[in-house]
Amino acid sequence: MGRRPISGSAAGPSGSHAGWVGVCRKGKTVGSTSTNGTANGQLERSSTAPWERGGEEATSAGGEPQATSSVEAKSSKKAKGGKKSGQTGQRGSGQQGQKGQKGSGQGSTSDRSKAWMLLDRSGSMSGLEVAVVHGVNGFMAEQAALPGKCKVTLVQFDSEEPFEILADAVPVNKACALSVEQYRPRAATPLLDAIGSLIGRADERAKRRRKAGKEPEDQTVLVVTDGLENASTDFSWADIHRLVSSRREHGWAFVFMGANQDSYFEGARLGVEPGNVQNYEASDEGVGEAFASVSRAYRERRTMHSTVGLTPDNDDFFGGVREAEEGIRRRSQ
């Protein structure tokens, strides 16, 4: 499928990537814009994107992991060095997930949802910029429309800047729209370093909240990539597998979306369960389906949390429904 070219300029300071970080105080927030509209009026909507339907250490209620290993210490150190791009700072119930477990009795986390989105910005994503921007903004818009509170951290990565923070724990209903000025594919794919740094940052957030006497958040880490690891220098596969497995034991959900690879094989190497993995096609339509699937599943997760006495299955994020893979099969027929 052909990829439509990018035309026109998007909001944000010329030569910087500061336009989307923090709370949006001027102009429209993502949540106040229709999901099939433009990104603050600057981007033409992709005709193939399917959006037209109209940190903290993690945290099961049972406790939080402590940074005890050299790998975890390295993760925390790398996260502190992350670059920030700027300052930080249809209502409906959704469809309930099909699988749930009895909660621990310590209360709902519906107002403490925390999403961490790690976005591959390597050169192989070139040509998909508009689809990715619409996918991210569509995810934010759908989540902003739900009852309850949710904060989101968005990070993009490549070998020139392995951990660039675009939005840092921003309330999803106040986040500004992402633009193609901020998402410019380039360079190689240090996937392991990006994941390790993100986990370290989430651990630091959890530590601060714990010291402040705040309740733990529900942690969901969403990784979207279209290529294989090829540039990490600080973390190994074994390092990341240990970090992911440890956090999963404390209630974190890790989601892996991959194109141009066997995502189930690569996800397993990272420590991600098959129920939280999905392949998508590296096309405008495939990218749109991927973000739509992630947003639908996260909506169901948040809805499950709002149901008293239930918590979602952290190892079956998609609930057996994989829209992006269904799209691949449909187009191959």
pLDDT, tens only, 143-195: 999 999 999 999 999 999 999 999 999 999 999 899 999 999 999 999 999 99
pTM of the model: 0.76
Q: How many domains does the chain have?
A: 1
The pLDDT of residue 139 is above 70? yes
Residue 50, domain member (yes or no): no
Residue 300, domain member (yes or no): yes
Whether the CB-CB separation of 314 and 251 falls below 8 Å is answered with yes
- Cα 113 to Cα 105: distance, rounded to the nearest angstrom: 17
Cβ-defined contacts of 153-156 (< 8 Å, 24+)? 153/55, 153/114, 153/115, 153/116, 153/117, 153/201, 154/20, 154/117, 154/119, 154/178, 155/82, 155/116, 155/117, 155/118, 155/119, 155/194, 155/198, 156/118, 156/119, 156/120, 156/121, 156/182, 156/183
Helix (H, G, I), strand (E, B) or coil at 311: strand
- Cα 279 to Cα 324: distance, rounded to the nearest angstrom: 7
The pLDDT of residue 15 is above 60? no
Residues spanned by the domain of 171: 58-332
Task: Give me the pLDDT at residue 307, please.
Answer: 74
Residue 302, domain member (yes or no): yes
- Cα 321 to Cα 24: distance, rounded to the nearest angstrom: 33
What are 82-130's pLDDT values in tens digits? 656 543 333 333 333 334 444 433 444 567 899 999 999 999 999 999 9
Question: What's the 3-state SS for 6-32?
Answer: CCCCCCCCCCCCCCCCCECCCCCEHHH
Q: What is the mean pLDDT of the chain?
A: 78
What are 253-270's pLDDT values in tens digits? 999 999 999 999 999 999
Task: Give me the pLDDT at residue 287, please.
Answer: 98
Residue 3, domain member (yes or no): no
- Both tokens of 185, joined, read 């594919």
Share of the chain above pLDDT 70, in %: 66
Terminal CA-CA length for the chain: 15
What are 191-227's pLDDT values in tens digits? 999 999 999 999 999 999 999 999 999 999 999 999 9
* Residue 84 C-alpha from the chain's centroid: 17
Q: The CATH number of the domain where 297 resides is what?
A: 3.40.50.410
Classify residue 118 by burial, with Cβ atoms within 10 Å: 0-12, 13-18, 19+.
buried
51 band by pLDDT with thresholds 50, 70 and 90: very low
Task: Give me the pLDDT at residue 69, please.
Answer: 60
The pLDDT of residue 137 is above 70? yes
Whether the CB-CB separation of 93 and 142 falls below 8 Å is answered with no
Angle at 285 between CA 177 and CA 49, to 5 degrees: 40
Local structure of residue 178 (DSSP, 8 states): P
H helix runs in 81-115, sequence order: none
Residue 43, domain member (yes or no): no
Residue 306, domain member (yes or no): yes
Residue 238, domain member (yes or no): yes
Residue 218, domain member (yes or no): yes
